[in-house]
Structure 1
Amino acid sequence: MPAAPEAQGLQIYACDPARTQGRRFAEGPAPTRNDFQRDRDRIVHSSAFRRLVYKTQVFLNHEGDLFRTRLTHSLEVAQLARSIARSLGLHEDLVEAIALAHDLGHTPFGHAGQDALNACLQGDEAQAAPPGPDEPRGGFEHNMQSLRVVDALEQRYPAFDGLNLCFETREGILKHCSRANAEWLEAREPGGVGQRFLLGRSPSLEAQLANLADEIAYNAHDIDDGVRSGLLSLEQLEAVPLFDGHRREVLAEFPALQGRRLLYEAIRRMLSVQIYDVIDATQAAVRAEGIDSLAAVRAAPVLVQFSPAMREQSAQLKRFLFRNLYRHPQVLETTGRGCQVVSELYAAYCAEPAQLPDSARRPGMGLRRQVADYIAGMTDRFAIREHQRLTGGSPFF
């Protein structure tokens, strides 16, 4: 008889690997690891995870050695999420697995690459043949692609495609989903990861936590990378209450501090206050909703949250970063070049399918989706090289 969650140091409403909803393909237990540990380990050893080291977060990899990439971002999300999970009595291995896998489906060149690939797919829909039985519906969305990576695109095991992860991990990876894709998923896997989007239900607290830790991590490290790049200044950040309050607090304690030490200490304190806020606000929400089981979590609204005051401060920071960093002319110029690479790669492969390697060909999928899958799996530098090979030029050189 498996131990109750409370006996493992978990709250009664946490996910328990002894009671997992299982894998799509049955496997026997591992002698020394629970199922969520196995999921985490499979993700870390996957090809898609290794490729994240050369995928853009905000700044392209070749723009500087110390800027975040998708890989280092995912590690920071995992650290924050695991730390908060321990305080909330949630399953640390599960929240870490979700955090490490949440960006596996991201394209090269960050969100700009995703937007370009989505535009290519949607622009072709009117002329294209109906999607194959193994194709998702609509354009391109990186959450759906991350699920497809772990469900089908990774090819490592003799008995199945994908990584064959637990339901709970896959549920957390699929943060967002269109109704059309939820219906497609439900038809292929009744009662599976698409069902909650059709019923309007919530995922596990571990999935909710990984989602919020993602927001906390990128807000903090984008300040750091923005200042490091010279595109943001400490003077500009005085307009952001969530950051500037801690900057002033640091200077009151260390009046001579300046430069990177001042920046790091202000960010560190900003992260700490957000973490404690999430812990307190989530515990209060769990009590207010009378949560006493995982089923109650799924029936309740999202519970892992900021307090209202912290949510507003976080939103102010996000608006600042959007205006002053993500929409900075230098960032837009670089990501615009990335969009050009993705769009021209897509056109080149669709015009000459023979250029696709055999490893990118999958029965049950049309050419457009095979091309999109191949491009989405590229690193920034491989996409640039491949674009140069196919077109004879490059917007980056």
Structure 2
Amino acid sequence: MEGQIGFGIGPHAAFAVDPSASRGRLYREPESPTRTPYQRDRDRIVHSTAFRRLKDKTQVFLFDEGDHYRTRLTHTIEVAQIARALARALRLDEDLAEAIALSHDLGHTPFGHAGERALDRMMAGHGGFDHNAQSLRVVTKLERRYPHFDGLNLSWEALEGLVKHNGPLVDAEGRGVGSYEGKDLPAAILAYTAEQDLQLATYASAEAQAAAIADDIAYDAHDIDDGLRAGLLTVDGLREVDFLREILDAIEAEHPGLEKPRLVNEVVRRVITRMIEDVIAEALRRLAETNPTSADALRHAGRPMIAFSGGLVAADKAIKTHLWHNVYRHTRVMQVMTAAEGVVERLFERYWRDPDALPPEWQIGLDPVDTERRARRISDFLAGMTDRYALREHHRLFDASPDLG
């Protein structure tokens, strides 16, 4: 490992992705005289239609429950900020880390994971629905902005990071691993990798790993914030998690009697800071042990290099368990999300029975006999909807507005 890893000082580390050695894009384009390939990737993502739609897509709480809750867009921006901080500290390519973070949720449905569950059920006979694979469809097929190709024509490194940021998808023999163990890979991933090999059996770059763990950090910290704001969590209840109790004790010792809004903000700030610092320290330890001399060597290291320490793995699990029981599975949240699933299911069923109910541009090229193509077209249309648009479509087609309150 070359030199001392510092906070953004000096050139990229040896194991960072080198923008001058990018493997390029599926469709060849002239290089930009003013931007690296990964700066162009980031800019294309930010200017995409799918990115703008994230502002009206649910994170945990619906858009009309309050102005201060996270949406998919604000969550994505927070993930990108944390990913960039990690990349700077470890001397990675910040632009690539940011681009992957900004694109990681582009395939999410309206109404958060409720919409994803409903769409996966409706697509059960047609390859299912997977938001990671849908993100790949968005950036390689569904965005139509350029005259010579569909999608955004992102760099190989950005697409690799988007698909593999949580780790390899298959083993050396091509069998599914992780969330795909015992299952076929989504058709969208198989179709794209037949055109451009994303090396699904290896880990992704350090930049992609930074984006992935930034997602975990953002989820933990900001769902605590939103859960407290919604009254589903209490400050005293957070003490059930050792990691959070230690933070609360330290804050209260330094700032006795701190008013609740400032206390909550300080908890969130310290959760993010401690997690980032832990990841940096653990990454330095693993990198020193493994000593990858290139980005490819890091991809073949056999384990992630950007990760929590053992103590923080346990803390992360405890936080997520607390959030699961007290926020995600809370009766109030579940009632809303069950109703939201019904919206997605009814819309899918209506478009399936009556493809003419789709907007005209979504009917182009549909063959009544080709049920697979019809199902995927409906899935693409539904996945791209914002919460508001889905509710408007439901009212248009059924003359009824479902109660999601």
TM-score, structure 2 as length reference = 0.89
Cα distance in 2, alignment partners of residues 366 and 239 from structure 1: 49
Output the amino acid matched with 2:26: R
Give the match for residue 39 of structure 1. Answer: 41
Cα distance in 2, alignment partners of residues 343 and 225 from structure 1: 27
Pair 1:151-2:140 in alignment:
yes
Cα distance in 2, alignment partners of residues 190 and 8 from structure 1: 38
Secondary structure at 1:291's aligned position in 2? Answer: coil
Pair 1:66-2:68 in alignment:
yes
Output the amino acid matched with 2:129: F
Contact 2:136 2:188 in 1 (8 A): no
Give the match for residue 305 of structure 1. Answer: 307
Matches within 5 A, 1:258-297: 258-297=259-298
User: How much does 1:360 deviate?
Assistant: 2.3
Cα distance in 2, alignment partners of residues 328 and 240 from structure 1: 18
Output the amino acid matched with 1:67: Y
Secondary structure at 1:42's aligned position in 2? Answer: helix
More off after superposition, 367-376 vs 293-302 = 293-302
Cα distance in 1, alignment partners of residues 26 and 34 from structure 2: 22
Q: Could you give the per-residue CA deviations for residues 219-247 of structure 1, whole angstroms, max 9, x where no partner exists?
A: 10000000101111111111112222111
Pair 1:338-2:340 in alignment:
yes
Q: Could you give the per-residue CA deviations for residues 255-287 of structure 1, whole angstroms, max 9, x where no partner exists?
A: 121311011112111111110100010111111
Secondary structure at 2:293's aligned position in 1? Answer: coil
Give the match for residue 175 of structure 2. Answer: none
Cα distance in 2, alignment partners of residues 89 and 309 from structure 1: 25
Matches within 5 A, 1:133-172: 138-172=127-161
Secondary structure at 2:185's aligned position in 1? Answer: helix
Give the match for residue 377 of structure 1. Answer: 384
Give the match for residue 128 of structure 1. Answer: none
User: How much does 1:191 deviate?
Assistant: 7.8
More off after superposition, 258-267 vs 176-185 = 176-185
Cα distance in 2, alignment partners of residues 222 and 67 from structure 1: 9
Cα RMSD between the aligned structures?
Answer: 1.9
Structure 1 pair 25/362, CA: closer, same or farther in 2 (3 Å)? farther
Cα distance in 2, alignment partners of residues 269 and 45 from structure 1: 32
Q: Could you give the per-residue CA deviations for residues 141-167 of structure 1, whole angstroms, max 9, x where no partner exists?
A: 000000110000001000000000001
User: How much does 1:181 deviate?
Assistant: 3.2
Contact 2:143 2:150 in 1 (8 A): yes
More off after superposition, 93-102 vs 238-247 = 238-247
Structure 1 pair 355/187, CA: closer, same or farther in 2 (3 Å)? closer
Structure 1 pair 183/231, CA: closer, same or farther in 2 (3 Å)? closer
Secondary structure at 2:277's aligned position in 1? Answer: helix
Give the match for residue 135 of structure 1. Answer: none
Cα distance in 2, alignment partners of residues 154 and 266 from structure 1: 39
Question: Among 192, 199, 202, which residue is 2:196 paired with?
Answer: 192
Output the amino acid matched with 2:395: Q
Contact 1:36 1:169 in 2 (8 A): yes
Contact 1:247 1:263 in 2 (8 A): no
Cα distance in 2, alignment partners of residues 236 and 193 from structure 1: 48
User: How much does 1:192 deviate?
Assistant: 3.4
Cα distance in 1, alignment partners of residues 255 and 146 from structure 2: 55
Structure 1, unpaired ranges of 5+: 1-5, 126-137
Matches within 5 A, 1:103-118: 103-118=105-120
Give the match for residue 53 of structure 1. Answer: 55
Identity of aligned residues (%): 45
User: How much does 1:394 deviate?
Assistant: 2.6
Contact 1:186 1:193 in 2 (8 A): no
Cα distance in 2, alignment partners of residues 320 and 275 from structure 1: 21
Q: Could you give the per-residue CA deviations for residues 184-211 of structure 1, whole angstroms, max 9, x where no partner exists?
A: 7456544835532xxx311101111101
Structure 1 pair 254/77, CA: closer, same or farther in 2 (3 Å)? same
Q: Could you give the per-residue CA deviations for residues 357-379 of structure 1, whole angstroms, max 9, x where no partner exists?
A: 13324658611000000000000
Q: Could you give the per-residue CA deviations for residues 275-322 of structure 1, whole angstroms, max 9, x where no partner exists?
A: 010001011111111211111111111111011011101110011100
Task: Work out the number of aligned pairs and report it.
Answer: 376
Pair 1:212-2:213 in alignment:
yes
User: How much does 1:99 deviate?
Assistant: 0.5
More off after superposition, 362-371 vs 327-336 = 362-371
Output the amino acid matched with 1:150: V
Structure 2, unpaired ranges of 5+: 1-7, 170-179, 367-371
Structure 1 pair 8/23, CA: closer, same or farther in 2 (3 Å)? farther
Give the match for residue 387 of structure 1. Answer: 394
Secondary structure at 2:239's aligned position in 1? Answer: helix
Secondary structure at 1:155's aligned position in 2? Answer: coil
Matches within 5 A, 1:90-101: 90-101=92-103
Pair 1:256-2:257 in alignment:
yes
User: How much does 1:7 deviate?
Assistant: 11
Cα distance in 1, alignment partners of residues 186 and 230 from structure 2: 40
User: How much does 1:183 deviate?
Assistant: 7.8
Contact 2:278 2:308 in 1 (8 A): yes
Contact 1:105 1:144 in 2 (8 A): yes
Secondary structure at 1:249's aligned position in 2? Answer: helix
User: How much does 1:13 deviate?
Assistant: 1.0
Contact 2:50 2:138 in 1 (8 A): yes
Cα distance in 1, alignment partners of residues 295 and 271 from structure 2: 31
